[in-house]
Each structure stands twice: as C-alpha cells, then as structure tokens.
Amino acid sequence: MHLSHVIRQKSYERVEYALRRHWLTFVPAVFLFILLLGVPLALYALINSLFPAILNSAVIFPIAVLLGSVYYLFTYLFFYVQFIDYYLDLWVITNDRVVDIEQHGLFDRVTTELDLFRIQDVTSNVKGVLPTVFHYGDVTVTTASSNSSIVFRQIPRPDHVRQELIRLADEDRKYHLGDIKSEN
C-alpha cells in the first residue's frame, strides 16, 4: 500500500515518518493462531484413541469434517482480522501534520489529522520488560483542544519519535508564526 493512496499530500509537504506497530506486538496473535490450528487435530487424536468406532460411522465422520472445516474457516478469519488490524494501523508524520489511521476490524477505519504547529505536548511511554528490551511503546500527542490527541500505539523507538515530533512542531510553529507576523 503506497502512502499516496492513504493521504493526499500538499504540494510543499514531505513525509518524514510512516510508522506501524512493532512486529513483536503481532507475535501473540501468531502463536494463538498456531495453537487454534492444533485444536481439531488434538481432538481428532483424542476421540480416535478413546472411541475409534465413532469416527467410522457414515454419518458422524462427514459431520465431524464439516464442523472441523467451519472451525478452520473461523480460525483463518480471526487471524486475517488480527493481521488487517495490525497492518493497517498507520501513523504518518509529515513536515506539516500528523495523520493517524486506525483500523478497527474489517470495515471500520478512523483517520485523524493534526497540524504540527498546534502540538502542545508529546509524551512517550514504555511500559514492561519486552517493550523496554525491544524499544517500543506509546507516544501521545496532545493539543490545546481537550478532544484532540493522537496516540501512536506500540511503535518502535518512541523516545526518538517524540524528539522528532517536538523538533518538527517547533520548525512548523516558526513557519506559521512567521506567516502571522508578516500579515500584521
């Protein structure tokens, strides 16, 4: 997916960062998926060892195959939804604004834009052993408005991103303050 499909850049705008969640945050979903794939196989082995005559039935075996197929279909669908949610969460930082694109399920996407010069506070938060070791965490960007805040969830190198956001906001603020002074 190219960024031009997601955001419409202004003529003077350049993308500084395109951020996604850290890859390690998707690993639990992969392990759960692998575990869920093994459940029907374990159940088949258990039933086959305890009650071998049941699976030889002309009625029960096709029903068991159908139920197993439906189970696998929902397991793959669950994994697909988890992957879409992980992959399509995107934060784009340009020299003019911050764009937050969050995917909630298959058919729910929320896009929020915030001008850099309106940023008042940028906070990074690294909580836990794995985030500390692998250098990922949250970055919260707030403005004067009580409802305008963007949270970059579980991104790599949150302290670096916080510093860069502060730098870019200061540069953009100088640009916009220069426009205001030249108009007066």
pLDDT at 179: 58
Does residue 180 have a pLDDT over 90? Answer: no
Secondary element (H or E) of residue 86: helix 60-88
pTM, two decimals, is 0.79
pLDDT in tens, 49-99: 998 888 888 888 899 899 999 999 999 999 999 999 999 999 999 999 999
Sign of the four-CA dihedral 104, 107, 15, 2? positive
* pLDDT classification of 146: cutoffs 50, 70, 90: low
Q: Quick one: average pLDDT of 9-21?
A: 88
**Residue 89: alpha-carbon gap to chain centroid:** 4
Q: If you search the block for the tokens 């963007």, which residue do you land on?
A: 150
